[in-house]
């Protein structure tokens, strides 16, 4: 028989290695050498200490809730959110978030038609992203404009914007 240099004399596969062969199954000892496992006793008893009732666990405190004012303007398809995290613009289900550290400034104005809020987030490199939200009426738009000004002022104060 010719030696191929591969274990078991297997011929090399298409990549120069012998095809994978699983290892043989482990040998099981004869039944006479197997010791029977003790069966747990039937019935009820006290629960193991790990499962016994005890003092209720103290909930782990999560991250502190951001402190600061918030603004939300939304219509059926779009939204503008300003909070301690930054500014979020949503358009037809797609959301883009801008953390405050990435924002140069934020501009806003009423849009055409008298019931549209336009918000632009300007980044330090000059790029800007715009969100547009339609109010139910002109009164709602005026309410949004009045709420948005102090919220933006709070987060942009001291940044020179």
Domain-embedded: residue 59: no
Tokens found for residue 47: 């629960």
Element (H, E) at 74: strand 71-74
Query: How many domains does the chain contain in total?
Result: 1
- Quickly tell me which residue has 């009820």 as its tokens: 44
Identity of the highest mean pLDDT range in 3-17, 22-36, 45-59, 104-118: 104-118
Determine the average pLDDT of the residues in 125-143.
96
pLDDT of the residue at 113: 84
DSSP H or E run through 81: strand 78-83
Is 23 a domain residue? no
**Is 6:18 a contact under the CB 8 Å cutoff?**
yes
Please report the pLDDT score of residue 73 as a whole number: 97
Q: How far apart are CA 78 and CA 72, in angstroms?
A: 11
The whole-number average pLDDT for the span 41-57 is 61
Q: In whole numbers, what is the pLDDT of the chain averaged over residues? A: 80
| Minimum mean pLDDT range among 34-43, 105-114, 150-159 | 34-43
Asked if the structure places residue 126 within a domain, the reply is yes
Let me know if residue 79 belongs to a domain: yes
> 59 vs 2, which has greater pLDDT?
59
The pTM is what?
A: 0.59
pLDDT surpassing 80 at residue 116: yes
Domain of 117, CATH number, reads 2.30.29.30
In a domain, 7, yes or no: no
The residue segments making up the domain with residue 134 are: 71-156
Residue 70 C-alpha from the chain's centroid:
21
What distance, in Å, lies between the first and last C-alpha atoms of the chain?
86
User: Is residue 60 in a domain?
Assistant: no
For residue 92, being part of any structural domain is answered with yes
Look at residue 116 and tell me if it is in a domain. yes
């Amino acid at each position: 028989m010719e030696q191929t240099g591969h274990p078991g004399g297997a011929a090399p596969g298409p990549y120069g290695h012998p095809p994978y062969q699983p290892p043989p199954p482990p040998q099981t000892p004869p039944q006479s050498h197997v010791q029977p496992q003790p069966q747990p006793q039937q019935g009820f008893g006290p629960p193991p200490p790990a499962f016994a009732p005890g003092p209720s666990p103290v909930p782990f405190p999560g991250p502190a809730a951001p402190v600061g004012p918030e603004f939300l303007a939304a219509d059926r398809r779009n939204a503008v959110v300003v909070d301690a995290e930054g500014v979020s613009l949503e358009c037809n289900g797609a959301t883009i978030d801008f953390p405050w550290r990435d924002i140069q400034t934020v501009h806003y104005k009423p849009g055409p038609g008298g019931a549209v809020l336009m918000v632009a987030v300007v980044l330090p490199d000059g790029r800007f992203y715009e969100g547009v939200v339609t109010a139910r009426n002109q009164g709602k738009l005026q309410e949004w404009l009045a709420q948005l000004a102090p919220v933006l002022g709070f987060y942009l104060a001291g940044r020179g914007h």
